[in-house]
Amino acid sequence: MGQNSVIVLLGASGNLAAKKLYPALFNLHRRGLLSDKLKIIGFDPTHMRHDDFVKHMKSCVDQSSPELEDHFKAFSERCSYITINQDAGDDSFVELRERMESFIERDEAQNRHFYMALPPSIYVAVSEQLRRNCYSEKGDSQIIIEKPFGHDLESSVELHKKLEPNWKESEIFRIDHYLGKEMVKNILTLRFGNPMFGALWDCNHIDNIQISMTEDIGTEGRGGYFDDVGIIRDVMQNHLTQLMALTTMERPGSFAAEDLRQEKARVLRLVPPLETKHTLAGQFVKSGDGKHPGYKDDDDVPEDSRCATFCTSVAYVKNARWEGVPFILKSGKALSESKTEIRIQLKDTTDAMLKDTNHNQLIIRIQPHEAVRLKMNAKQPGLGLRTVETELDLTYKQTVEDPDIPEAYEALLLDAFKGDYSESVSEQELEASWKIFTPLLHELEGNKDIQPAPYVYGSEGPDGLEDFVASYQFQK
C-alpha cells in the first residue's frame, strides 16, 4: 500500500513542470514505482479546471505507449489542481493544506513534498507560507528547489540563512538534474567497482582530465534571462563541478547520502579559486551563412553585453592524489555539437621501444548515446612493428539490448520520495563550489577590460582554444 504522501507542484503551468516533472511522474507511475497512496496537486496562479489540468498533463507525456490510455486514466486519478489567488494572502495555502488533509484520516501521518518549480527570487517568501500553513505535523515535510542556488557565494549563503529558520538542511532537496543521469550515477561504480581503474586513478598515471558540456544551440528566446546568468552559473558552477567532484573524491565509507556528500564537499574544498590566467571566455556571433543570429542580435541582450556564452577554465585539486593534474572545464552554447563527457587522458608511454604511440584515454560519454570508451594502442597488422590506436567501446545501446534508461528527473523524484539525499546537493558542497567560481565571476564581470573572445555560431569555440587546452597537455 505504501506511505500516505503528496507532492505539490508549485508552478504547475510552467515549462519545467511540462517538460520534466509530468513526464517523470507519469513514467514512475507506469513503472509501478509510486506508492498507491501518493497524490499529486498542481498549484499555480493560472486558472484551470480539473479537466483542463488533466488534459494539459496528458499533452506533456509520451504518447507512443500502446497502454497510454489505461496508464494515464489511473495516473490522473491521483491528480488535482488548485488555482492560487495571489491577492488573498495565505488563503490559497490554507486551501492547499485542507486539500492535503482530505486525502487522509484525522490521525494519519502524511509526507509532504513541495516542488518549487518557481523563480528563485520567490523561494523564500513561498517557503515561509508553506511552513506556516502546510507543514506536516505527523509526517515528513520537504521542499525541492532547482538551481540556481544563489548568484555568487554571498547570495547563496544568504539564501540558505533565509530558508534555515523554517526548513532544516535535512528537509531541503536541491536538484541538480545531472546527478540523476544514468552515466553520472555510473561514475562511482566504474571507479570503485573496477580495481584496474582504481590503480590508475592518480597523478602518477593521469596527465589531464577534460570535463565538457557543449550545446549546438544558442540562447534563442532566452537572451534576456541568460545575460544575467552566463555560462559559468548556468552550467559550470553546478553540473561540471559535480562531475569533477565525483571524478576526484576519495572512496566514501558507503554510498549513503551522508558519506557520499561529505566526500564530495571535502574534495571541492581542496580546489583553489579559478583564475583568469587559466581561463578563456567567449561569446558567439552569427553563423558564417547568416542563418543563426549572434548573441547580441537578440533584442533582449544589451549591445554592450560582456556575458560569456563559452568558457574554458582550468582547475587543480590540491592533494597528493591529484597534485599537478589540470582539470579542463569547458562549456559553451552555439558550438559544433551537443555532448557531455569526461575525458581522462593518461600519461605518455615511453618511446624507448614503441614509437608514435597515442595517449590512452578513458572517455565517459554522459549524453547523447551513453557510453564508456577506452582508447588503447595495439600493433598494426603486418610484418612491421607499428602501432595503431584501437578502442574498446561500451556504448549502452550496443552492449545492452533495448536499454530502458530512466530520465534524470525520474531518479531524483524517486529519491526525494524515499528521503534519500545522496543525489541532492548539500549546503557544504554548494558553499565549496561557489568559493571556486565567485572570484572568477567577479573579475570577469567587474573588469571591463576583459572582453569575451568572439566565436562563430557552429564552430569549435574561440580562436586560440586548441592552443589553450594543448598548453595543459590535452590532446584530441
Q: Which residues are catalytic?
A: 239
Closest CA to 444 of 226, 281, 257: 281
What is the C-alpha separation between 124 and 164, in angstroms, rounded? 10
Angle between helices 427-446 and 153-163 (to 10 degrees): 140
The number of C-alpha atoms within 13 Å of 412 and in the hemisphere containing its C-beta is 24
Question: Bridge partners of 400?
Answer: none
Residue 116 in contact with residue 123, Cβ under 8 Å? yes
CB atoms under 10 Å from CB of 459, counted, come to 19
CB 281 within 8 A of CB 240: no
**Parallel, antiparallel, or unpaired for β 79-83 and 327-332?**
unpaired
Q: Contact 92/85 with Cβ under 8 angstroms?
A: yes
The C-alpha atoms of residue 283 and residue 302 are separated, in whole angstroms, by 13
In angstroms, rounded to a whole number, what is the distance separating the alpha carbons of residues 369 and 337?
A: 13
Give helix 408-418 / helix 22-30 axis angle, nearest 10°: 70
CB burial string 154-185: b at 16+ within 10 A, e below: eebeebbeebeebbeeebbbbbbbbbbbbbbb
